[in-house]
């Protein structure tokens, strides 16, 4: 089964910019209740979508005290456990990040490793790509960051 996830966050000065668990030096960061990690949020929605298990807002509402101050890594790890409890495992992940600045090419490998660890998946099965929005639209004006993630999941083979 495949699943597609999308997320966007507004950017503002003086906020941390966290993408796939990597804190990136930047004047602007995500405005959010959580760490505002668009890559991990889109990944959670892709995983839930592939398993037809709802969406991130249903599982991790910002009104739930259990998830107050939780990192988005914990959302991903919890979702992987949820899939496993349904007999499902991840096959591969492909993420695309759209951000005008700063350039994040130097951080892509660390992002892949963080996704790999959180999803218990070899890093060779994790792709992270990045592009700008050619200075047009809200991303192009530096007002926001967006991410799209697609995942393939399969069933866990009985031993």
- Residues at the interface with Mg ion (CB under 5 A): 7, 41
Q: Measured from the CB atom, is 7 or 100 closer to Mg ion?
A: 7
Q: Could you tell me the strand order of the sheet in which 28-30 lies?
A: 28-30, 2-13, 144-155, 88-98, 126-131
**133 preceded by a cis bond (ω within 30 of 0):** no
Smallest separation, CB 69 to Mg ion (Å): 15
Kindly tell me which of 41 and 112 has the beta carbon lying closer to Mg ion: 41
Using the minimum distance from each CB to Mg ion, give the nearer residue, 5 or 107: 5
User: Which residues lie below 8 Å from residue 34, measured CB to CB, with a gap of 6+?
Assistant: 62, 67, 70, 71, 72, 75
| Residue at shortest CB range from Mg ion | 41
Which one, 27 or 62, has the nearer CB to Mg ion? 62
Q: CB-based burial of residue 42 (10 Å sphere; 0-12 exposed, 13-18 middle, 19+ buried)?
A: buried
Which is nearer to Mg ion, 58 or 157 (by Cβ)? 58
For the bound state, the minimum distance from the C-beta of residue 9 to Mg ion, rounded and expressed in Å, comes to 6
CB of 38 to Mg ion, least distance (A): 6
What is the rounded CA–CA span in Å between residue 122 and residue 156? 16
Which residue matches tokens 């914990």? Answer: 74
Q: Give the nearest distance from C-beta 41 to Mg ion in angstroms.
A: 4
| Nearest distance, CB of residue 122 and Mg ion, angstroms | 27
User: Which of 64, 69, 7 has the alpha carbon at shortest distance from 33?
Assistant: 69
* Of 150, 156, 5, residue with least CA distance to 86: 156
């Amino acid at each position: 089964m495949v699943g597609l996830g999308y997320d966007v966050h507004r950017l503002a000065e003086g906020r941390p910019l966290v993408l796939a668990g990597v804190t990136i030096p930047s004047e602007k960061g995500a405005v959010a209740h959580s760490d505002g990690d668009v890559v991990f949020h889109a990944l959670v929605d892709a995983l839930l979508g592939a398993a037809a298990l709802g969406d991130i807002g249903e599982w991790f509402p910002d009104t739930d005290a259990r998830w107050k101050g939780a990192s988005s890594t914990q959302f991903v790890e919890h979702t992987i456990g949820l899939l496993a409890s349904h007999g499902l495992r991840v096959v591969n992940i492909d993420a695309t990040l759209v951000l005008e600045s700063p350039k994040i090419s130097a951080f892509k490998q660390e992002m892949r490793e963080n996704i790999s660890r959180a999803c218990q998946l070899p890093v060779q099965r994790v792709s992270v790509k990045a592009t700008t929005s050619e200075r047009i639209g809200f991303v192009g004006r530096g007002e926001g960051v967006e991410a799209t993630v697609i995942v393939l999941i399969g069933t866990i083979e009985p031993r």
